[in-house]
Each structure stands twice: as C-alpha cells, then as structure tokens.
Amino acid sequence: MSEIKLRIFAVEDAANGAIPIHPHFVKEFCTLQIRMSCECIALACLVAHEELDEAKSSAMQKAYAADQIIKRMESIHPRFFPQPITGQRIAPGRHHFSDFEGEYLTQQEILAVYARCGGRLHKGSLKSLKARTKAPSNDLLEELSTVQKIVGLLGNHATLSRDEHSVILCNFGPTRDGLVRVSSAREL
C-alpha cells in the first residue's frame, strides 16, 4: 500500500510538471506507475489472504501479473478484492463503517486498466508503427482519472477474510509520504 501511495503522488507530480522529465515521456511514465500500482494491488491481495492455502501455493507465490493473480484469487475467494469504505468515529475506540459512495477502481476495471497500460508500454511492431497516422497524445485526463479511482478504492478500504470473521482495514492518510495505517479486527 505504501508503494501505491508513492506511485500515485509520482503520477500527480509528473502531470503537474514537478518531475524533470521531457513532456514526451510524461504519459508513458504515468502509465507505467499505474500498471505497477495494479500489480501492487494484486500482490497486496495475496498478502491480505496469506492464510489461504491456495494463496501460499508455489504458482501464486511466483505470480506477478496482476490479471492472473486477480482471476485466480476470484476463484479462491470471490470477495477477496478490497472494498472502499467510509469510516466515522462514533465514540472513543468505536467506529462505524459504510460503503464508499464515490468512484473507485472496481475489480473488473483493474483488469482493463492493467491490459490497456501493458499495451501502451510497448512500441509495437514496425508494421504498426508505420500504420500510425497520428502522434501519441500527451493528454493525461485518463491517467489522472484512473489514479483518482485507485485513491477511491484504496484511500480507506477493508479486505474481508474468506470466512468473513476478520477484516483488514487500511487508510492512506492525508500525508504525501508512504505512510499507511493498517489495522485488523476479528469477530469474537
């Protein structure tokens, strides 16, 4: 989660010109950070569900492709994916959580984003380069929208165990660093 938070800030900084990088490469840099964030989300799902024997398998421990991890985790535990929440302190040591109402990156969208980013990070064949009729766009609206959806998903989220008796809570916090608050709760 810490790495994802830092990558999000890197995209924002690149889009705002705060990173000394040639404008021609800003979109590529942002796309790479988003793709790496997708991989980190998938790997974090494995960590969050490390109690599952299937998640400890040799194949899953070697996996790095976000789409493969997500598809396999879905077959193991259909509710494995983080769920964005809104938390409210109601008394000392007591909080109420509800579903997040804003936009966020869904489990299905992460697969599409991961594939789209992968396709954009390769030059392509000589034939496809010759067939291009227009220059690549430096417009970052799609990348910034995706980053906001990642923040919507992970900014404050819960990950439920397969038996639904425990939950991991994670909050990015307001600071521009890699610090993330994580806690867990178990039904008694």
**pLDDT tens per residue across span 18-37:** 999 998 899 999 999 999 99
Q: Among 50-59, 60-69, 77-86, which is the least confidently predicted range?
A: 50-59
Answer yes or no: is pLDDT of 186 > 80.
Answer: yes
Answer yes or no: is pLDDT of 67 > 90.
Answer: yes
Cβ neighbours of residue 23 closer than 8 Å, sequence gap 6 or more: 138
pLDDT for res 93: 79
Q: Is the pTM of the predicted complex or chain greater than 0.95? A: no
pLDDT for res 59: 92
Q: What is the mean pLDDT of residues 95-116?
A: 95
pLDDT for res 137: 73
Nearest residue to 47 (alpha-carbon basis) of 82, 85, 5, 71: 82
pLDDT for res 127: 86
Answer yes or no: is pLDDT of 136 > 80.
Answer: no
Where b means 16+ CB within 10 Å and e means fewer, 168-182 reads: bbbbbeeeeeeebee
pLDDT bin (cut points 50, 70, 90) of residue 152 is very high
Amino acid identity at 31: T
* End-to-end CA, the chain: 27
